[in-house]
Amino acid sequence: YRGYLSTKMCFESMFWLTNETVNIWSHIFGWMLFLGLTLYDLCLLNIHASFTDKFIVGLLLACFQICMVMSSLYHIFSCRSEEHFNCFLSFDLLGIALSMLGIYMTGVYYAYWCHKGWQMFYLSTVLAIFLAAMALQIPSLNIHSNIKLLTFVGWAAYGVVPTLHWTIMMGGLDNPIVALLLPRVLMMYIIVGIAFGIYITRIPERFFTGKVDYIGSSHQWWHFFVVLAL
């Protein structure tokens, strides 16, 4: 475990073997992955799509990259001081929120392409929840961490509403588009559910105290499943 370190030492600690090493590098590699996908999708893949479509895809992948970078910065500088810990934790949560916002916005945009009224409704509600979740992060409000966590959980669960609505509106699994896309959405929720379950139960370290500090802790599994889900 790292103690209070200077900024220079925080950077150097990226290359030490600590309980944060896997947390740092897992999302650095995640950032590299999404950067590569961005370059491939927008520059190398020869798809005749409109500028708007390319912009939306690029924005989604940019949100994923910001999530990875914010997470890595949090784990690098969390030991700088208590003030830095709280500051970079807010950045980390902002990155998570932006990735969720990107998923919702792109999903709703395309799912309700032919239903502009519902499209605007769901885009507005998702954005409103995002702004509320961000407002709760303001330090001066002194909002309990459990309330902040429940807000994110509720926001994630809210995605079931437009998904079910879209499924019913499109005619269920008899529609080939629903049959193609719905299992992917469900798989994302399953992966995120597993990740969240591991995160809150602190498995496996609660059963193997001191034996998974470097490799295999719950937070490291959380990182792995987050990249997989995105």
What is the per-residue DSSP string for 167-200?
Answer: HHHTTGGGSHHHHHHHHHHHHHHHHHHHHHHHHH
| 223 among annotated binding-site residues | yes
- pLDDT for residue 205: 93
In a domain, 1, yes or no: no
In a domain, 87, yes or no: yes
In a domain, 71, yes or no: yes
In a domain, 193, yes or no: yes
- pLDDT for residue 97: 92
In a domain, 2, yes or no: no
In a domain, 188, yes or no: yes
In a domain, 94, yes or no: yes
In a domain, 97, yes or no: yes
Burial (0-12, 13-18, 19+ Cβ within 10 Å), 196: middle
Q: What is the pTM of this model?
A: 0.91
| 75 among annotated binding-site residues | yes
CATH number of the domain encompassing residue 190: 1.20.1070
Which residues constitute the domain of residue 185? 7-229
The list of the chain residues with pLDDT below 50 reads none
- pLDDT for residue 48: 78
56: Cβ contacts below 8 Å, ≥ 6 apart? 105, 106, 109
How many domains does the structure of the chain reveal? 1
- pLDDT for residue 32: 97
- pLDDT for residue 92: 93
- pLDDT for residue 186: 94
Burial (0-12, 13-18, 19+ Cβ within 10 Å), 159: buried
